Structure 1
Amino acid sequence: MIHVLELPPAGMPRAWFAHDEADLARKVAATDALQPWEIHDVLTPQELLAASGHDAPDAAARAALPAICALGDAHGWHTPLYRADHLLGRGVLRPEPVPPREALAAALSARGGMACLYWSDAEAIAAFEGADPRLAGEARWWARRALHQQLVELEVLADDQ
């Protein structure tokens, strides 16, 4: 299970969970200003060309879609290109891999405030118990409390902590 703790610039911290990375992606996209494919996507220049109605990088495609053709020429038509607008900038595609986790974390961070992601129950428990310095001190007491309540509700922790 993945645990998320959002600490907005104003207001109370909010803890929530996702069953797995795909569930996290759906939940992040449901409340994000960007489309899911803008948050994270992997596609080839050939797929981009086909999605735009062209089968090959012929003269018509090059005239209509010079940027896509430049990507195909530069990186190869079947090279996976990664998109993660919150991380890389709007519409940027690059051949270096962008893990979905990094793209989702960037999407959460773009909302303002701070987002803490714990990729397992063990990480969330450790954070609650003091292993995450972002939750240390009296100023973050409410954040730790929100995480604790989430862990108790999910029966990850007993209510006697």
Structure 2
Amino acid sequence: MIYVVELPEQGDPRAWFAYDDEDFARKVAASDPLQAWEIHDRLTARDLLDANGAAPDDPAARGRFPAICALADEHGWDTPLYRADHLLGRGVLRVELVSEREALTAALSVRAGGRCIYWSDRDAIGAFEGADPRIAGKAHWRARRALYEQLVALEVLADDN
């Protein structure tokens, strides 16, 4: 499981969970102004050309899609290119790996307030028990309580209170 504790500037903290990376991506995208493929995508210059109805061997492609052909000239038609608009900027593609988790974390980080993401039950339990200073101590008891309620609801922790 993946857990998120939202720390709004005003109001009480809220916690939510995702079953796995796919569910996490779906939930982040559902509340994001960008499309899922703008948040994170992996594609090639060939994919881009194909999406525009052209092929690398099409003589008119270079004239109609010079930027895509320039990407292919620089990196090859089948080199993976990564897009993560919140992390890299709008429409930027790069060959260096951008993991989906990095892109999704960036998508959450641009929103108002703070967030704590825990990538496993163990990490979330540790945070609840005080291992994460962002929600440790008396001042953050509401955030820990929100996380606790998620952990209990998912039967990761027993309800001792």
- Identify whether the pair has TM-score above 0.5, normalized to the shorter chain: yes
Q: Does the aligned pair in 2 maintain the 1:28–1:107 contact within 8 Å? A: yes
**Aligned twin of 1:83:** 83
Deviation at 1:59, TM superposition (A): 4.6
Instruction: Tell me how far 1:63 sits from its aligned partner.
Output: 2.0
Output the CA distance in 1 between the equivalents of 2:148 and 2:154: 10
Contact 1:105 1:115 survives alignment (8 Å): no
**Residue 68 of structure 1 corresponds to which residue in structure 2?**
68
Task: Name the TM-score, length of structure 2 as normaliser.
Answer: 0.95
Q: What corresponds to 1:118 in structure 2?
A: 118
Secondary structure of the corresponding residue to residue 133 of structure 1? coil
Q: 1:13 is matched with which residue?
A: 13
Provide structure 1 residue ranges, at least 5 long, that are not aligned to the other structure.
none
| Offset from partner CA, 1:98-156 (integer Å, 9 cap, x none) | 11111111111111211111111110000000111111233322111111111111111
Report the equivalent of 1:48.
48
Q: Partner amino acid for 1:32?
A: D
Could you tell me which residue of structure 2 aligns to residue 92 of structure 1?
92
- 2:127–2:136 CA contact under 8 A, matched in 1: no
Identity %: 69
The CA distance in 1 between the partners of 2:59 and 2:10, in whole Å, is 54
Count of residues in Structure 1 that have an aligned counterpart in Structure 2: 161
Q: How many angstroms apart in 1 are the aligned matches of 2:140 and 2:36?
A: 31
Q: Does residue 144 in structure 1 map to residue 154 in structure 2? A: no
Separation in 1 of the partners of 2:103 and 2:8? Answer: 19
Comparing 135-144 and 111-120, the one that deviates more: 135-144
Q: Could you report, residue by residue, the CA deviation over 1:18-43 in whole angstroms, capped at 9, with x for unpaired residues?
A: 11000100111111100000011000
* CA distance in structure 1 between the partners assigned to 2:6 and 2:57 by the alignment: 45
Is contact 1:57-1:69 (8 Å) kept?
no
Gaps spanning 5+ residues in structure 2: where? none
Q: CA offsets, 1:78-108, max 9 Å, x none? A: 0000001111111110000011111111111
State the AA in 2 paired with 1:151. L
**Higher relative helix content:** 1
> Counterparts of 2:75 and 2:92 in 1: how far apart (Å)?
14
Q: TM-score, normalised by structure 1?
A: 0.95
Moved beyond 6 Å, runs of 4+? none
Decide whether aligned partners of structure 1 residues 159 and 77 sit closer, same or farther in structure 2, where only a CA change above 3 A counts.
same
Aligned pair 1:157/2:160, yes or no?
no
Which residue in 1 is equivalent to 2:131?
131
